[in-house]
Structure 1
Amino acid sequence: MPARPTRPRRPPSSPPAPAPRDVEAPRTSGAPQRRRAVRAAAQAPAHAPRKPAVARPRPVEGAAAAPGRPAGQQRPRVADLAGARRARRRRPGRRAIGVLVGLVVVLAAGLWAVFGSPWLRVDQVRITGTERTDLAAVQAVVDGQQGRALARVNTRALASDVSSLPLVESTDVTRSWPSTLLVTVHERQAVAAVPSTGGGVDLVDGGGTVLVHEDAAPTGVPTVDVDVASAGNDSLQAAIAVNSTLSTAVRSKVASISATTPDAVRFRLIDGPEVVWGDDSRPERKAEVLLRLLQDPTAAGAKVLDVSAPDAPAVTP
């Protein structure tokens, strides 16, 4: 067979030249732009130097503001803001000083109005509760307060001076603004009438103090009939003490009270029997038993009721 003619070999072809980048192509959509960016990055030389990162300078406290940022827009530090707030708290403001001055002025005006003004002075004194006490004697004690500042009146000392009068047991003194002083007298209460050697009776309180001399015992005050010469002064004091311990319900029924010894106190009821009371012990229990006996018609019509031993009372027809 005849040999095939050999074809001469073609020299190797050079790689195709890169297509020029279409820089001026219009941007129609996002996908072509991304493809062109990928091709440009692949064709860029690998040894292209990178730009070194530039460190941003930090602002220095007290330095001038950067040229690109106005001074009023410079960002302050957090510590500086906290310190400024604390400084503002420490400095008293003008408003606080004004309020303080106003309070001082108001306080001074109030003190002057209470202690120095002519409108809050004692212009009138009212006295109540003087039934047996001499009204003129009380007025002589309190009249010295006329024209004085009402706030300066020592009510405790004035009450003590009025209470030193013979028939006064206690006194209440109060202020009635703007210019009145109220004096309330609590007199000693007479619990018994003791016959006097010169005639009439002496009204005495629970402690045996003579309050006043009267011609006769007033209604509701029993007469103490004790022969001091034979029974002794202790019997008289025991009778007065027993009479002072009686309840109002029992005392209103007593016409007279007597005693031969300090432990043998008796009293006679108004339109009723004689009552043997004994000493001054257990007055509440004795009064309870006596009132219960008086509710019984038989005991109420008896001659003697003995409640000296209240748990075992005795009735003598």
Structure 2
Amino acid sequence: MAGPTTAERQKTADGGSRPPRPPRSRVRLPRTRTLVLSLIALVLIGAGVVWALYGSQWLRVERVTTSGTRVLTPEKVREAAAAPVGEPLISVDTDAIEDRLRKKLPRIDSVEVVRSWPHGIGLKVTERKPVLLIEKGGKFIEVDAKGVRFATVRHAPKGVPLLELMPDQESAAASLRRFDGDRLRREAVRVAGALPAATARDTRAVKVRSYDSISLELRGGRTVDWGSGEKGRAKASTLTALMKAAPKARHFDVSVPTAPASSAS
């Protein structure tokens, strides 16, 4: 009689039967046809997007809106912007519109041109604010806190002081030798820009006798010796406190902010 086979001996040695091994799975690569169809679909989708952005009538400029204007009118801003109405919104050169607005309208300090999908262009304008006026030929030149002369108007805006260059005597002559008229005007702008809001509204004139001799003429006949344009923030704080402490004073001196003074005359 024949003995046990090798498989039977292995089964006996293991004490039982082993579970059958699972068949190995094979990774199937995508077929060439599937890859080609996928690529064609991507190309068609891309072409459709490009056509929608540039060739269709769906995403074109139909309206231009403005915000932030105070003195300028929205119509004037839109006219200066010359946004390409009817052109594809995606192709609008926003930087060119911003440059055009700043060149044509000096009153604009900054502007942001934004696309408003699907049909709009938005113009967000920040206008310059005058801190000082220069009278010339019966008109008034508006100057902002950066010293930029941005507009000439017939009537002086309310609450904006007038610049008065009043050089006199030897100190003024020495100052003019060191600092020309433009530098003195810049110092006056520097002073006007540092004034507290309440004081700025009450200031009728900024008088410049020399670089370090600048004074303010306030409403009601009050005056302020400011000195030079240096330490403007400290002088503004000192002036505010001094006016509260001596509300009936007529003259204030903050040329040395650590040693202020006030008087009734």
Give the aligned partner of residue 18 of structure 1. Answer: none
In structure 2, the partner of 1:37 is none
1:271 aligns with 2:220: yes
Match of 2:253 in 1: 306
**Alignment equivalent of 1:182, drawn from 122, 126, 130:** 122
SS at match of 2:252: strand
Contact 2:194 2:236 in 1 (8 A): no
State the distance in 1 between where 2:153 and 2:52 align.
50
Once residues 175 and 121 of structure 1 are traced to their aligned partners in structure 2, the CA distance between those partners, rounded to angstroms, is 11
2:96 is aligned with 1:157 = yes
Paired residue secondary structure (2:99): helix
Structure 1: tracts of 5 or more residues without a match: 1-49, 57-74
Tell me, in whole angstroms, the C-alpha distance in 2 between the residues paired with 1:159 and 1:281.
35
**Paired residues, what number?**
243
> 1:174, 1:265 → 2: CA distance?
44
Q: Quick one: which amino acid aligns to residue 241 of structure 1?
A: R
* Conserved? CA contact 1:273–1:300, under 8 Å: no
TM-superposed CA distance for 1:295, in Å, is 1.5
Kindly state the Cα deviation for residue 126 of structure 1 after the two structures are TM-superposed.
2.1
- 1:99 Cα deviation from its structure 2 partner: 6.3
Aligned partners of 2:164 and 2:208 also within 8 Å: yes
CA distance in 2, matches of 1:215, 1:159: 28
Q: Match of 1:285?
A: 234
Q: Quick one: structure 1 residues 253 and 293, their matched pair in 2 at CA, closer, same or farther if it must change by over 3 Å?
A: same
Aligned counterparts of 1:202 and 1:229: Cα–Cα separation in 2: 24
The DSSP-based 3-state class of the residue aligned with 1:216 is coil
Corresponding residue for 2:203?
A: 254
- Which of 186, 189, 192 is matched with 2:132 structurally? 192
1:1-317 map, 5 Å: 50-54=1-5, 81-82=23-24, 84-85=25-26, 87-88=27-28, 90-91=29-30, 102=41, 104-133=43-72, 138-165=77-104, 166-196=106-136, 198-227=137-166, 231=172, 232=176, 233=181, 234-271=183-220, 273-296=222-245, 299-317=246-264
Partner of 1:15: none
Identity %: 29
Change beyond 3 A, Cα 1:106–1:309: same
Q: Residues 228, 212 of structure 1: CA spacing in aligned structure 2 closer, same or farther, 3 A cutoff?
A: farther
Cα offsets for 1:109-146 (capped at 9, x unmatched) = 23322222111101122234444447676444433511
Q: For residues 178-228 of structure 1, what are the alpha-carbon distances to aligned partners after superposition, in whole Å with 9 as ceiling and x for unaligned? A: 2111123222221111121x2232222223332222333211111111136
| SS in structure 1 at match of 2:206 | strand
RMSD: 3.2
SS in 2 for 1:191: strand
Aligned-residue offset at 1:52:
4.0
Q: Give the TM-score normalised by the residue count of structure 1.
A: 0.66
Higher relative contact order (CA 8 A, sep 6+): 2
Structure 1 residue 294: deviation in Å?
Answer: 1.4
Answer 1 or 2: which has greater strand percent.
2
State the distance in 1 between where 2:135 and 2:232 align: 25
Distance 1:104 1:188 in 2: 50
Which is greater in Rg? 1
2:10 maps to none
Note the C-alpha offset of 1:108: 3.4
